[in-house]
Structure 1
Amino acid sequence: MNSTNQSSVTEFLLLGLSSQPQQQQQLIFLLFLIMYLATVLGNLLIILAISTDPRLHTPMYFFLSNLSFVDVCFSSTTVPKVLAIHILRNQAISFSGCLTQMYFLCVFAGMDNFLLAVMAYDRFVAICHPLHYTTKMTHQLCALLVVGSWVVANLNCLLHTLLMARLSFCGNIIPHFFCDSTPLLKLSCSDTHLNELMIHTEGTMVMVSPFVCILISYICITYAVLRVSTPRGGWRAFSTCGSHLAVVCLFYGTIISLYFNPSSSHSTRRDMAAAMMYTVVTPMLNPFIYSLRNRDMKGALRKVLTMRFPSKQ
């Protein structure tokens, strides 16, 4: 392939998930449409239930409503383009559109990362320092934690996007269903040493630091639970973390399998499957995980649904 400079690469072509016949394309379209609608509806119901039920106006549910908002945005960054690829065969995405998609994907993935850490800290304070919970987890601190997460996530992603924008590209075919840094770097004819250095140092630090905070929080929580004299009391305290732990395992499991494995073990099909898990499946499952394991949330959702869809009796 002849080398071209960056100015001549005006668009990229996203190959999507399948190059199979039209019937399979329609099946992929239907699958993604159902998952996207479930994601948007489920997360918006979580936000509505929390905002309308005064019992849920607590730090834990404030962070959960922010996580639901981020999950809607996260899924909306990739799925509409996937739908266009597989039903309209519109594989083209402009150079600026590709970088914009990469930027927002990075921001929302970072926000998921930070919010999971903030929620772990909230559970740590609630279980390890229950008498001081209301004085420690103030409205000002909760707002500061969320705003700080947005600022750090945006600054981190702005750095990587600007570094990507300075590169020249030798090709424009991306064997993926969204613009990610890894396939874009493979298309570059420029020296990508600085990009890779920032991803492996600053980028890794931004992603790993919240994960370390989560681990430390749950080590302290486990120690506090084991000190409880009655097994039932300890289990009841730890069970409040069950939903959060399930989401943490799902999110970080796919992230680690995708970005922290040796490059020699990567395959395009496997990478796309892992990417689909954390960009599409995880945001869809989060509302179900939190609502099914939480009695207060189930009650609030039931109230919202009966208010919106009253019985005909």
Structure 2
Amino acid sequence: MPTALPGTAREVRLTAVPGGLPAREHFTVVRTPLPEPGTGQVLVRNRYFLVFPGLRTLIGGEVDGVPLPPLRSGDALFGPAVGEVVAAPADSPLRTGDTVSHLLGWREYALVAAADCTLLDDTLPDPVAYLSVGSAAYGALTRLAEVRAGDTVFVTGAAGAVGSLAGQIARLLGAGRVIGSTSTTEKAERLVSELRYDAVVRRGAGPIAEQLAEAAPEGIDVLLDNVAGEQLVAALGAARQGARFALVGALSGQLAAERAGGSAPVEIDAFRLVVRGISLRGYAGADHPEMEKEWTGRFGAWLRSGEISFPHTRIAGIDRAPQALEELMAGRHFGAVVVEL
């Protein structure tokens, strides 16, 4: 017998646009009436949703070029989620009990257009792994940087959601040496012991350029950059002839309190780009629509064989979601951050 649905459900809303980085006091958890799906819609009970730094940009309102709308005071937050269909019209392509992913996280129940849901199967052994952002790392390393056997690869922001997978992917693609950057000694130790990084440079432990020169005395062939700023400059100084740089994020600017989340200016040496033949390209998943399916297939096989892990932190309960976002922006977690409902 089907379980009766509640009359109300909770969601996280933005209560005020902050002047700097958002903190838990800028959000509230409210109860709203549970909607019924109409034509072309389904009701999904969310099981997990991703806490991601891109919310900083949406809250700051600098969304030029970003394929998502800004968040205003009073809006419910949104983002990648995995859940179970609990109600659907008779003519829906989805059925009650289907597991789906969609972009209306940050709420316990989501009314979603069926066309905006992706039906999930057992390609990945754990449904929460569908919230990984590894497709960006995989796409950047295979389509832009084109990692080759024996390459020395430098991954900035190596302990984040993208970086914690990027180093593992680079190794599986044949990299000979993988170097990461992070902010704490504890994270650096975990990168080496758990994720097989060969060396780690640490923000706050001295000039990044000097640390990188010591970690890669013969230079680097590939950069997978999540940070920009000083770390991008240091990577240019360490680049070998023909190095390939793939930029996935720019957290140094995006998470700067004095900015609004949509810019990350940095001064680089254009002459070095020219004389060393360095390619410098930004990765956009929309430019590679085939990537998600390819990545999911390889990710599932690697997970089942034990060749890769999905580092993530699970936060229990929607009430803790605003705090989880604040902690993510402060760099307190390792890997992806997922709220489990």
The interval holding the TM-score normalised by the smaller chain is under 0.3
TM-score (norm 1): 0.26
Q: 1 or 2, which has the higher strand percentage?
A: 2
Structure with the higher helix share, 1 or 2: 1
TM-score with structure 2 setting the length: 0.24
